[in-house]
Chain A
Amino acid sequence: MRHPKKVEGIEMSVEPMKLFFKEIKEPTETAMIGNYAVAGGVTQTDPDVICAFPITPQTQSVEGLSDVVHQGRLKAAFVNVESELAAISYSTAAAAVGARVFTATASQGYLLMAEALPMAVGWRVPLTMMISARAFNAPNLSIWNSWEFVLTDFGWNCIVSENVQETYDAAILSVMISDKSLFPTMFVHDGFIISHSVQKLTLIPDKTVRELTPKKPRHTINTKKPGTWGGIVTPSFFMEGRKNLDEAKQPVLGIMRETFKEFGKATGRQYDLIETYNLDNSSKTAFITMGSMCGNIISWMTKNKDVGLIKVRAYRPFPYEELQKIVQEHDLEKLIILEKSDSLNNLLPPFSTSIATALYPLGTLLRSFIVGLGGRDVTQDEFDIAKKKMEAVKDMKGPLYMYLGVRETKNKILGVDM
């Protein structure tokens, strides 16, 4: 592997990364933006290959890593490529020969990767990818937050983070989950809202990260055993390959749960596939969503104690049994889904569809509220009105989704009497 030469006279270029240059000996409290926190977490997992193409709002994660490689702190190949399709292809191939690989993208970059995303799953490579969730460009270009990643996953694992601490932890958790499940894992935070916000977080000692992410590559190059990867097959073979993957995916949620436990023991931060807040409330109603909005709702709930919150961390595989159990145990009657994505085809968007599918056997009443597209802030106003609208819901008839916080005309907000 070639390492870029250190350029004389250029000192540290990415200031917030300096914490990661020395060994982190004990849990260290600090504050930084989500992207640098991820770059730091990835540094601690000691990747062999980093290959990504810059795109807003993901950029500083890779920028931070280029610095630790450039300065010699990390002995990794930092590979510049010409596009996201090249980045994911290179990364998948590198992981397929046993390297620990990190890549990152967002929005149009994710779409450009689409051609090669399924093969990372097909070949069972333990690759990790950060996504700074950002709208894809239609009908306008937007660099701000929406959930483009829910659009399609091709069988990748996916965990979603609420804040900077969680996205830092997810950088490490994803390596653990990928290595154990032999499926690629993407971890997502909301673009700008988390990628560019400075928040408090506690760093994990290097030694602990090393223990959590031991390097035992299960893919290797063996010149004595040559083979063709991904060659063409006739209809006589293809379905068996797909079903084989489906079987292999079954234990992944269990692996995730165990990984969260192991991580909790080592760091004191307890995560789960799904987390719940105040579910035994008087209205038997709960919000269900993912990512940064969970924090907004928790703040809002300090004054709104009659609703609960279900926060989905593991988005793929979707923990449908866990969700059913939670709804049953707490006797919940209504769920208010908040989703930063839409479908345009009269269907619930993907996150809401997942929930509706999981809860179909229970008949839980639900409505999906489409919010926060293209970086529009989601505030107490949206929570208030969603809660109010849900009070009137008595059945599953009529449209199951509506946009919230959108101007209908210059002086009117859709669905809001002012």
Chain B
Amino acid sequence: MGSPTESYVRLSLNEDLVRSNEQVYAPHFVSVLDPSLLGEVDVTAGIPEGGWLIVNTVMNQLDIQDIVKRKDLNIATIDATRIALDILGRNITNTIILGALVRVSHLFTIEELSDAIMMRFKGEIAGKNIKAIQQAYEETCIYEIGKDVDFFVHTKVPWQQVDLGLPGYKELDKAGVWYCDENIIQVGSDQVNTGSWGEWEILWDKDTCTDCAQCWYICPDFAIIREKGDDGLWHMAGIDIYHCKSCQNCLNICPVNAITKRMKQGPASCAAPEESGGN
């Protein structure tokens, strides 16, 4: 979990086509590892009709259709976070989502994927990853619209790389200088909802807390709230859920276990069978 990151893979039997070092603007498959990005980033940009959107989520596919406002995509969901926590013991879903990708893309087989995992990891870690991938493969919920992706369709939005909408060179007051007026300060990192990043809700128990402030010192996001009491001293007052990214540092350092965690998301659900199949 962290700030939004995109990465690409380009596969082709035509060497000239994979020779490009351009970023991918018209993907045929998109995997989203963190469902909170669905509303924040245009994850479906450039996917042609019939392309696949694969999401790590407990939501069902029809809800995702509503969020991304596209009905022309095939959608697959997988609760990769739960599989990761169950099998790997940590919320690392990078490999796991590949199980879902293999299930819907048929670009390579689960055996080939396992071989690749064994080249990258060793021993127990390799075994766990393979197990997690297989489970993801089996548990993927699929919602097909009845049209498959055409690899020869290329739907790059022209000049997407130029980010229209941001100031042009004629509109720069002084190149390289950003004046810090009020507006700019208000769009600083203070406004970023890092609280949406993590998979845990962090809970604080006022009665157990001894006000030692260790959590306050260790929190990397200033997400521990302290308030000045009538006695003139600062006291622990709670957790700022808008900024807490659930790193669990506070939980680990608290000497009296006054901080605990709870999984944010409930159990996964597939779209009801009578709804799938698309229209």
Residues of A that sit less than 8 Å from B by CB: 138-140, 162-163, 190, 193-194, 197, 292-293, 295-296, 298-302, 376-381, 405-414, 416, 418
Contact: A407 with B21, CB < 8 Å? Answer: no
- Check A299–B20 contact: CB distance below 8 A: yes
Give Cα A46 to B18, complex, Å.
Answer: 32
Q: Which residue of B lies closest to A406 (CB)?
A: B169
- Provide 26 A-B residue pairs closer than 8 Å at the C-beta atoms, listed in order of the A residue: A139-B176, A140-B176, A163-B19, A163-B21, A292-B21, A295-B21, A296-B22, A298-B16, A298-B20, A299-B18, A299-B19, A302-B14, A302-B16, A376-B161, A376-B162, A377-B23, A378-B22, A379-B23, A405-B159, A405-B161, A406-B162, A406-B168, A408-B168, A408-B169, A409-B170, A410-B164
Known: A139-B175, A163-B21. A413 touches B159 (CB 8 A): yes
Q: Which one of B18, B161, B163, B175 has the highest number of Cβ atoms from chain A below 10 Å of its Cβ?
A: B161
Residues of chain B within 8 A (CB-CB) of A381 are 156, 158-159, 161
Interface presence of B41 (CB below 8 A): no
| Interfacial chain B residues near A163, Cβ < 8 Å | 19, 21
With a CB–CB cut-off of 8 A, which chain A residues contact B204? none
Please tell me if the beta carbons of B17 and A418 are within 8 angstroms of each other in the complex: no
CB distance from A45 to the nearest CB of B (A): 26
Digit string of B175-186 for contact with A (CB within 8 Å is 1, else 0)?
111000000000
Q: Distance in Å from the Cβ of A164 to the closest Cβ of chain B?
A: 10
Interface range for B: 20 to 34
Q: Cα distance A378–B22 when bound, in Å?
A: 7
- List chain B positions with a Cβ less than 8 A from chain A: 14, 16-23, 25, 156, 158-159, 161-171, 175-177
Residues of A within 8 A of B19 (CB): 163, 295, 298-299
The answer to whether B166 touches A407, judged by C-beta atoms less than 8 angstroms apart, is yes
Q: 15 extra interchain contacts, Cβ-Cβ under 8 A, other than A408-B170, A414-B169? A: A140-B176, A194-B21, A299-B18, A302-B14, A377-B22, A377-B161, A379-B23, A406-B169, A407-B162, A407-B168, A409-B168, A410-B165, A410-B171, A412-B168, A418-B158
Q: Which residues in A have their C-beta under 8 angstroms from that of B166?
A: 407, 410
The answer for the CA separation of A300 and B16 in the assembled complex, in Å, is: 9
Is B22 in contact with A407, judged by CB distance below 8 angstroms? Answer: no
A197, B19: Cα distance in complex, Å? 12
A407 in contact with B16 (CB, 8 Å): no
- Report the Cα distance A414→B17, complex, angstroms: 29
Q: Is the CB of A193 within 8 A of B176?
A: no
Docked CA distance A416–B164 (Å): 12
Query: How far is the CB of A6 from the nearest CB of chain B, in Å?
Result: 21
Complex CA gap A299/B167 in Å reads 31
Chain A residue at minimum C-beta to C-beta distance from B17 = A299
- Provide the residues of chain B in CB contact with A405, threshold 8 Å: 159, 161-162
Is there contact, CB below 8 Å, between A296 and B168? Answer: no
Q: Which single residue of chain B is at the shortest CB-CB distance from A138?
A: B176
